[in-house]
Amino acid sequence: MATRVLGATMNWLLHGQCQSIIDAKLDCSLSDLTAFLDCQLGDSDNNLCIGLELHYDRANHVDLSIYCGQPIPSLSAGKYPQRLGLWQTFVNQRGLARLFPQKFWLEYDYYPSGYQLSGLFQRCNEDCRDITKVAILLAEYSSLARGDKPCNGSVQPEWLQQLFADFGLPQWIGLMERGQGLIKFVFALNPVTVRKLKHFIDDNFGTLLIALGLDSSIIYDAVELWLRIATVRISIDYDPRSNALADRLCFELMIPSDRILNESELCTLRQIELNFKASTEQVIRSISILQKLPYFATQPAFNLIDQELFMLAFNHAKICLNMNAITVKDYLLAKRESLSNTAIK
């Protein structure tokens, strides 16, 4: 193909589908980053796709994620260095491919100086039942990533074991480049695990809720309400140094994969964001930006260009509770399929 997967998709987004919502000054940075990743990842993976993270607390701010289902190269060339080769070496040396399959999101955050790799999100095999093994492995990896000596039991896994016992193994594990080596756990809630959510929040995030003027009952009711429509995921930050959770809690309200949201469900989504005490300005800005897209907020857009099918969809909304702010983000998913090589699924 003359144009590679990510570059072609980004070109379609920047000069058509997202032209009205992405500031022109980001065009060059986004194009440069996808061109770099195309050279590193190649076209061997037909599952390559782009995730756009839209922020509403800062003007025209868009972070980028890349999904791939293949071994990740060093990605150390040019201006996008990273240390994540350590994770793949760790998985390979310990024979953990079944527990941690080749399914990744590479996440890049935007800064005035350009995009920087913020972390890797690794898919976890949730069917694994050995939660003790997983807890020990993650503590060991975190120690290695910081350049510390092997843990030798300094980070006890009991706390992680209890977390996994309550919510199952995480769907995704985020290994973050920024900060102090935090590990993010993303759990998909279900009717069983959601019953433990209120007590979990009260026990671990009471100080955070007090600071934000929130009540765990409001959060629990909102999560239960959205579970009737689609999946809800919680994202928590774990600090291996203190063997404790950081004061940050996020909720991802997924969009149904088999249909679009109706008007009532879209109103429910916005009301939940307001119930979480997100600012009216953020919610209104989210609505106004998504309305600028060619398909509005809930209906996927498709384009057939030269035997290639391009797709853009609203994937999920995210509400983040931090000590000093409550933020709302929206996530769009874009992908290119070559009709000559890949059947439409």
- For 30-65, write each residue's pLDDT tens digit: 888 888 888 877 766 667 899 999 999 876 689 999
- 163-185 CB burial, b ≥16 within 10 A, e <16: bbeebbbbbbbbbbbeeebbbbb
**φ, ψ at 67 (rounded to 5°):** -95, 135
What confidence tens digit (pLDDT) does each residue in 196-252 have? 999 999 999 999 999 999 999 999 999 999 999 999 999 999 887 777 889 999 999
- 139 against 116, higher pLDDT: 116
What confidence tens digit (pLDDT) does each residue in 65-104 have? 999 877 666 665 555 555 566 787 888 888 888 888 888 8
- Give yes or no for a contact between 226 and 247, defined as CB atoms under 8 angstroms apart: no
For the whole model, what pTM was predicted?
A: 0.89
Q: Quick one: which H or E segment has residue 52?
A: strand 49-55
DSSP state letter for 255? P
How far apart are alpha carbons 143 and 151 in whole angstroms? 6
Q: Which two tokens stand for residue 147?
A: 């350049």
Between the CA atoms of 17, 231, 67 and 238, what dihedral angle is there, to the nearest 10 degrees? Answer: 130
How far apart are alpha carbons 42 and 268 in whole angstroms? 41
Residue appearing with tokens 């040396």 = 93
How far apart are alpha carbons 209 and 216 in whole angstroms? 8
How far apart are alpha carbons 268 and 227 in whole angstroms? 12
DSSP state letter for 14? I
Q: What confidence score (pLDDT) does residue 1 get?
A: 39
- Name the H helices within the chain: 5-12, 24-41, 85-93, 131-145, 158-167, 197-212, 216-227, 263-275, 280-292
